[in-house]
Amino acid sequence: MGKHESHNQTLHQTPVTWAVPAGAGGGAGELSVRREKTVGSDPKDGSCCSTHWTFHESRYQLGRYDCMAFQAANVKKDPSKRKRPWKKLFKYLLILFFMALLVSVSAITHEYGPYMGRVIDKENGEPIDGAAVLLVFYTKGIYAVSSYAGAIETLTDKNGEFSFPKKRIFTLHPFNEWWPYCHVTIFKPGYGSFPNHKESGPKYSHTYSIPEAEYYTVNLPKLLTDKERKESIMMFPNIPKRRMKNLIRLRGKEERVLGLTP
């Protein structure tokens, strides 16, 4: 190249200003780079703006200096756009505060049980095997409105006995608290269900429940008419079907016997 021949290059960058110190391949001064601006360079000229440039797609070299480090050290930033770490910290603290507040007024987990007992025929005291025993757990919110939280189920054995170990229920119902007692249903085709049938019992002090850690005997009355049997069939629209498979199976059996379903 000639002594004063220039090398032109078009820059596609947002406007920045680099402060070039003395001895950085040229004289001290400032180098402005703007979008679509062509900058000329002369390798023999000692001035800052004519110092020899080599341009790359994402890295530039200014003489022997790496422009990436050079830019990080010398770009003049707008004071209004400076990072304020305390603002980010305040935002995180505010989020943590509201999360803690939400958790403190929410029903999240509660342990129930154990439950145990026996189901017998009210007339003769014989054990009733194969009866479905369903325990449902609820939370209560504003105006004591109940919300489903979980359920467990089993069948009575040949001695009419059932048992449930301690069970921890997990859910997230904001602004709710746990009902301290379970809601129990015991059903066997041909018998009045507990606790809905008026002759089933004995009724626990907390209606629709049975006591924890206490052996509890439940009497079911045998139903003699189809009308009584139809009235004893129960529906649970708010409980997932997978949580009461035995109850659904027995209910379907009773409906088929009574001609309610094919």
CA–CA dist 10, 43 (Å, integer)? 18
Q: Kindly report, residue by residue over 182-200, the tens digit of the pLDDT.
A: 999 999 999 999 998 999 9
Q: Kindly report, residue by residue over 21-51, the tens digit of the pLDDT.
A: 444 444 444 444 443 434 444 444 444 443 3
Average pLDDT, the chain: 74
Q: Is the pTM of this model over 0.85?
A: no
Cβ(95)–Cβ(157) below 8 Å: no
Backbone torsion region of residue 175, taken as left when φ is above 0, otherwise alpha when ψ lies between -120 and 50, otherwise beta: left
> Residue 141: what residue type?
G
Q: How far out from the chain centre does Cα 210 lie?
A: 32
Q: Where are the domains of the chain?
A: 9-80, 104-257
Q: Give bridge partners of residue 216 from the DSSP assignment.
A: 117
- Where do the H-state alpha helices sit in 151-244? 226-232
Residue 100's H or E segment, with its range, is helix 85-104
Q: What is the DSSP string of 44-74?
A: T--SGGGS-EE--SS--EETTEEHHHHHHHH
pLDDT of residue 79: 57
Tokens representing 260 are 């309610």
Determine which of 19-28, 50-59, 133-142, 162-171 has the lowest per-residue pLDDT on average: 50-59
Q: Kindly report, residue by residue over 77-119, the tens digit of the pLDDT.
A: 555 555 667 777 767 766 765 555 555 545 678 899 999 999 9
Give the mean pLDDT of 223-239.
Answer: 89
Q: How far out from the chain centre does Cα 225 lie?
A: 49
- Domain 104-257, architecture per CATH: Sandwich (2.60)
